[in-house]
Amino acid sequence: MWCEQAVENGRVASGVRLSVDSAGVVATVETGTDPRPGDLVLTGVVFPAASNAHSHAFHRALRGRTHSTGADSFWTWRQAMYRAAGALTPELYEELATAVFTEMVTAGYTSVAEFHYVHHRPDGTPYPGHAMELALGRAAQTAGIRLTLLDTCYLAGGFGEPLGTAQVRFGDAGAEAWLRRLASLRAAVEAEFDPTEVSVGAALHSVRAVPEDALKVIAAGLDPELPLHLHLSEQPAENEACLAATGLTPAQLLATHGLLGPRLSVVHATHLTETDIGLLGGAGATVVMCPSTEADLADGIGPAAALAAAGARIALGSDQHAVLDPWLEMRALEHGERLATGVRGRFTPAALHTALSDAGAAAQGRRTPGFAAGSMCDLMVLDPASPRTAGADPAQLALAATAQDVTAVVVGGKLTAEHGRHLRVGDPGPLLAAAIRKLDEAAEGHA
Question: How many other CB atoms sit within 10 Å of the CB of residue 422?
Answer: 21
The one catalytic residue among 319, 325, 378, 383 = 319
Q: How many residues does the chain have?
A: 447
Helix or strand run (H / E) with residue 289? strand 286-289
**Within 10 Å of residue 154's Cβ, how many Cβ atoms?**
22
At residue 357, the 3 state secondary structure works out as: coil
Active-site position among 59, 268, 271, 422 = 268
Closest by alpha carbon to 1, among 379, 418, 431?
379
**DSSP assignments along 110-132, one per residue:** EEEEEEE---S-TTSPPPGGGHH
Rounded CA separation 26/53 (Å): 22
Separation CA 396–CA 190 (nearest Å) = 41
C-beta separation of 425 from 101 below 8 A:
no
Burial class (CB in 10 A: 0-12, 13-18, 19+), 125: exposed
Residue from 15, 90, 97, 37 nearest 61 by CA: 97
What does 371-422 look like in DSSP terms, one character per residue? Answer: SSTTSB--EEEE-TTSTTTTT--GGGGGGT--GGGEEEEEETTEEEEETTEE
Bridge-based pairing of strands 2-8 and 11-20 is: antiparallel
Q: At 52, is the secondary structure helix, strand, or coil?
A: strand
Q: How far apart are alpha carbons 173 and 346 in whole angstroms?
A: 45
Is 353 a catalytic site residue?
no
* Residue (of 159, 205, 199) closest to 178 by Cα position: 205
CB 208 within 8 A of CB 150: no
Q: Name the residue among 319, 318, 238, 245 with its Cα closest to residue 276.
A: 238
Runs of H (alpha helix) within 38-118: 74-86, 90-107
268 catalytic, yes or no? yes
Please state, in angstroms and as integers, the Cα–Cα distance from residue 374 to each residue in 29, 263, 367, 445, following that order. 10, 21, 8, 50
Active-site residue list: 268, 319
